[in-house]
A and B are shown apart, each in its own frame.
Chain A
Amino acid sequence: MGFFDRLKAGLQRTQSKLVHEIKRIVTRSPKITASSLEELEAALIAADLGMQVTQRIVAAVGKAYESQGRGGADILEIASREVAADLTLGSLGLKKCEQGPTVVSIVGVNGTGKTTTAAKLGRHVVARGDTAMLAACDTFRAAAIEQLKLWGERLDLPVVSGAYGADPSSVAHDAVRSAVAREMSYLFIDTAGRLHTKQNLMQELQKLHRVIGKQLPGAPHETLLILDATTGMNAMNQAREFNKAAPLTGLVITKLDGTSKGGMVIAIQKELGVPVKFIGLGEQPDDLQPFVPKEFAEALFADPEAKAV
């Protein structure tokens, strides 16, 4: 199954619901009125697009109607155009250093899927011919280390770990050394989940980054924030605070295989200018896919009848 199909399958429920909603709004009311705009707004909000983006799209639709008159496809087109415009920025895919390992730090709040994503990323780079190592720097949560080790066994990737309660920075330090010594092309650091409001934990993360930066200048080369697609407006706060503590180079949206939309990334990209690099579409190791902005926007808004799936 190609990327587009997978993404489409994943977003199918969202898409059909959203398209249905919008169509219903358009066909039922002959003229654009305050109430039909409000309904459009509601449909977009239901996709977790956030107030700002929603209001902009609604405004754009209203404006276009004033100048062009009414037409069924317009709403979708305008909405899709607006979203795509926000999503096309920054470098996509993982960076790769010419020399030495590329260190990728994986951060996020609790329960978003960091450990799983770390493992999947490892598989992703191995599949394209690179070597990868995992570092179990979540020394806090019960069995987090075992979880990553099990993934390591399954995917045949080396895992560097320490003891529970150990300073995660020291584990990261050892991991970087080991990755350099074993000439790995990638090192994925699985950090502990932390709420962005906990200052001490954010400082712990900063320290971890400082330590690996000293060990290997330029590291971490990538800092990926893992966002759960079911998260609502709070995703914005999470991204903001993590970006403040440890400048992000990319986002990964996980759990997009449900009916959740992950619409918040649009607002996040707009404000922080951090691109989405991958999306997680399931529990299997292969279910991590590179993010393609245009397709994401299209898949979110595409009319399922016009483009047979």
Chain B
Amino acid sequence: MFDSLSGKLQSVFKNLRGLGKISESNVSDSLREVRLALLDADVNFKVARDFIERVKEQAIGQKVIQSIQPGQQIIKIINDELVGLLGSTNSALDLSADPSCLMLVGLHGSGKTTSSGKLARLLHKEGRSPLLVACDVYRPAAMDQLLTLGKQLGLPVFARKGETDVLRIAREAMDEARATGRNTLIFDTAGRLQIDEELVQELVRLRDLVKPREILLVLDAATGQEAVNVATHFDQALQVTGSILTRLDGDARGGAALSLKTVTGKPIKFVGVGEKLEDFEPFHPERMASRILGMGDVVSLVERAAEAVDMDDAKRMEEKMRKGQFTLEDFLDQLRQMKKLGSLESIVGMLPGGADMLKQADLSKGEKEFKRMEGMICAMTLQERRHPQILNAKRRIRIAKGSGVGVAELNSLLKRFGQMQQMMKKMGKFQKMMSKMGGGGAAAAGMLRGGR
């Protein structure tokens, strides 16, 4: 799915090994690839161009460290630069006023209402008493949506159904907050186009009335080149203080984040990573940088694994692997755990260089293979799964018939399982690491590779 930038750069630099320093001409070729990768990730083309210029100056003249590939060196420079650009020190919310007001603004469908709810939950957990204010007077049932979120969170929502004057809602909400002792107001505003002057002015008036310490621009991570226009307009009209990037749980590369940050200079404070109200995190510039560059996202993979895999199980499994007591029964467990992680394609895609692998191998085939393995193991008795050595010809014929495969396929499974057991004994250290990431991946992937 993603073109691996490292792969491309590697080929650009293939003939350059042994050069002492990176020169202008060999940098230019590689930077074109970087530029394409950035554009492919939806970074605005002007932002990409400026960015490349900066990197170029830095890259020229740097020594190529012999032990690593020049391509890697360039990537490191780019990555560091990206992290530097995306990162920020003042990403905490300013909640010093009493009451503190926060305003969420953005285009239609960027996720303002959901983010409002998520933010309220977070602030509530930090000991504040938030009041959600429904200022979307345009979209049908927008207020209901916020009221429902409030109910789910057990937090108060201020809404005046049928009222179309946003300022009146805001004034009443402020009174309400004072009367009920809420110290943080979150204003969920209606989605609007940045060029809709009338509606943008409404926001300006709202801002002047409630004097929010934080105005957060909510932007969908999949936004394209348009991100720059959106950010510029909203920032000019309202002087936003930061932004929230939503739907990072998809596979959008999120180049919009870089455009956004470059244009406004304001920090990205939070990211939305799922549909549930707890799927809300502080922004991590390192992860975003590797995501934009399409270099895999091992951190997310580990997190996903941690979610799907029971840690105690994983430890027990690791112990078994090391001692070579790994049985077909355990293998079946692992196959099933793998399924919970999602499709093979999505897992491999998150690994560095995984994108390249995806191009070469048809993983849906591998997935089918997993299913067949599962079937074969299921056709065995418990005793057979624990002691595969007892599988004689008769038993094998029975199992093959029971699972609808040929004996040859069963044999090859058993043979590969044997090899895997051997390998596991040898590679104690290696799989210690892998099993921490969820064991299943290591064993099952090893199994698959054996089959090719």
Contacts and interface: CB of A to CB of B under 8 A. Distances in A.
A257 B221 CA distance: 20
Contacts of A110: 109, 111, 247, 275
A124 B117 CA distance: 34
A232 B194 contact: no
Contacts of A234: 42, 221-222, 250-253
Most chain A CB neighbours (cut-off 10 Å) among B36, B141, B149, B255: B141
Interface stretch (B167-175, B224-232, B405-413): B224-232
Nearest to B151: A142
Contacts of B45: 42, 45-46
A173 interface: no
Interface stretch (A146-154, A175-183, A207-215): A146-154
Contact of B224 (A109, A150, A232): A232
B255 A111 contact: no
A125 to B, nearest CB: 20
Contacts, number: 145
B249 A235 contact: no
Interface string A238-251: 10000000000000
B444 interface: no
B192 to A, nearest CB: 10
Interface string B80-101: 0000000000000000000000
A118 to B, nearest CB: 12
B256 interface: yes
B193 A142 contact: no
Given A230-B220, A231-B220, A232-B223, A147 B249 contact: no
B301 interface: no
Nearest to A192: B275
Interface residues of A, number: 45
A199 B343 contact: yes
Interface in A105-162: 109-113, 140-144, 146-147, 149-151, 154
Contacts of B1: 237
Contact of A142 (B109, B145, B230, B342): B145
B229 A109 contact: no
A45 B228 CA distance: 13
Contacts of B194: 258-259
A232 B255 contact: yes
A197 B250 contact: yes
A143 B275 contact: no
Nearest to A153: B140
Contacts of A231: 220, 222-224
The majority secondary structure among interface residues of chain A is: loop
Interface-centre pick from B194, B224, B253 (highest chain A CB count, 10 A): B224
Contacts of B113: 142
Nearest to B219: A230
B220 A46 contact: no
Contact of A47 (B39, B138, B225, B229): B225
Contacts of A196: 250-251
Interface string A81-107: 000000000000000000000000000
B148 interface: yes
A13 B194 CA distance: 13
Contact of A195 (B146, B147, B223, B250): B250
Q: Which has the most chain A C-beta neighbours within 10 Å: B145, B147, B149?
A: B145
A78 interface: no
B317 interface: no
Contacts of A47: 225
A109 B109 CA distance: 10
A228 interface: yes
Given A111-B220, A150-B141, A258-B195, A232 B108 contact: no
A244 B253 CA distance: 21
B68 to A, nearest CB: 28
9 contacts: A110-B275, A143-B145, A146-B144, A147-B140, A196-B250, A199-B343, A231-B220, A234-B42, A237-B252
Interface of B: 1, 36, 39-42, 44-46, 49, 107-111, 113, 138-149, 152, 193-195, 220-227, 229-230, 247, 249-253, 255-256, 275, 342-343, 346
| List of 5 A-B pairs having minimum Cβ-Cβ separation, nearest first | A232-B224, A111-B109, A143-B145, A142-B148, A232-B42
Interface of A: 13, 42, 45-48, 51, 109-113, 140-144, 146-147, 149-151, 154, 195-199, 228, 230-235, 237-238, 255, 257-261, 264, 283
